[in-house]
Amino acid sequence: MTFARPEYSIDTDTLPRMPAWVTSARPEAFEDVAFLSGAALNHLHLVLGREEVPKALLRDRLALRAGEACVGFSGRPERAPELRDAIHLLRPGDLPGPAGETYLAWRRAVEWSVSVKALSRVLPTFESCQIATWLDAGNGAPVTRAVVVLDAVLTEAPRAEVPALILADAALAQALGWDHVVPLLAAGLKRTDLRKRGDDLRLACHRALISSTREAVRLAADLARRTAHLKAVAPKLRAKGAGDAVDMFLTRDAVAPGALPLPDRAARRLCDRLVYLGAVRELTGRDTFRLYGV
């Protein structure tokens, strides 16, 4: 006898969609590009205000994409699967390596509320007064503020691409009134863009934000549907500690069974159960050392 997988009907297709004129336009003039990036950011701002969007999970997944982009800027071959392994499969006493450190910096950047104190913990190689000076360097519209910060950091420390992009996203978040860093710039920029300065860098950042914001909105809608489904099946989980485990899946890009607040065998069974229910996915395709995520 076989049993059909239970179906759960979740209607979360209520998030406002980004207008087609933002996503399909291919402007050349600076004013048009700046207008569209502003429209895209405004739309993302509305989406982030929706209760059904799992904001911590969205930030964590965007941190993975930012980490992947920055690792690529440095010429390293690691991509998202390797970055996940570098962090989530670490053993006590192990070091995550250069690529893992880059990803870890982004994860820490999105975890805490935006402040000089928090950013000092994320970027310990820089003094808090220097970070404050950089963040205060930008003024004007949000994107302009972010670009000024990015330009200032890269001018003083040309090889500090990761700190520069984190601080630029922090400046953007502050200007938009967001409590946390939302990684946007890194995923939309090219390596050659980081060598630009002034108006050329500003144009590159506006273009980057159009593409990365569009992707962030799409991802927010996808995660809203997936987390709604996970919440719907959660009451059917009987394992002790299942509620805390579900909370972890609702806030983290990836989770290793060993990180769940259950005994090893129970954790693996819970993950298999959630996969069966269509609430989480196995992310590695491996038979061992598996990772799971919404």
Give pLDDT, residue 286.
95
Residue 206's CB: how many other CB atoms inside 10 A?
Answer: 24
128-137 helix and 142-156 helix, angle to the nearest 10 degrees = 130
pLDDT in tens, 46-84: 999 999 999 999 999 999 999 999 999 999 999 999 999
Whether the CB-CB separation of 247 and 74 falls below 8 Å is answered with no
Candidates 16, 13, 44; CA nearest to 211 is: 44
First to last CA, the chain: 29
C-alpha distances (whole Å) from 263 to each of 12, 65, 162, 238, 274 are 34, 31, 37, 14, 16
Give, for all 294 residues of the chain, the pLDDT tens digit: 444 555 544 455 678 889 889 888 788 899 999 999 999 999 999 999 999 999 999 999 999 999 999 999 999 999 999 999 999 999 888 999 999 999 999 999 999 999 999 999 999 999 999 999 999 987 789 999 999 999 999 999 999 999 999 999 999 999 999 999 999 999 999 999 999 999 999 999 999 999 999 999 999 999 999 999 999 999 999 888 999 999 999 999 999 999 999 999 999 999 999 999 999 999 999 999 999 999
**Residue whose token pair is 């402007």:** 27
Enter the tokens of residue 284.
């590695």
8-state DSSP, 18? P
Enter the tokens of residue 108.
């820490």
Distance CA 39, CA 46 (A): 11
Q: Helix (H, G, I), strand (E, B), or coil: what is residue 282? A: strand
**Residue whose token pair is 């607040």:** 261
Sort 150 into a burial class: Cβ within 10 Å, 0-12 / 13-18 / 19+: buried
